[in-house]
Amino acid sequence: MKDDNLPDRLLELMSDGGWHSTEELVEKISHRFSATMHTLKKKRGCKFEKRRVHAQQYEYRLEIESKAIA
């Protein structure tokens, strides 16, 4: 797998707004997926949520901003 488009691959995977496990992100993106998230935060302003599902297991979700007017 090429690493040059990891940010785009991560955004494509997480654009569904659902929660994604560490295992899934390692398998589909890279074992360094958290570094890719950090890059997206700094360079593109993306925001990610993280939740603990078990003692040492986490899930991540891309925060998708609503375009609705409140």
Domain range for 27 is 6-62
| Cα 25 to Cα 34: distance, rounded to the nearest angstrom | 9
27 in any annotated domain: yes
The domain tally of the chain equals 1
Identify whether the C-beta of residue 15 lies closer than 8 Å to the C-beta of residue 31: no
- pLDDT above 70 (res 4): no
User: Nearest to residue 9, comparing CAs of 26, 53, 22, 21?
Assistant: 26
67 in any annotated domain: no
- Amino acid occupying residue 19: W
Percent pLDDT > 70 in the chain is 87
- How do residues 9-24 score in pLDDT, each as one tens digit? 999 999 999 999 999 9
CATH number at residue 56: 1.10.10
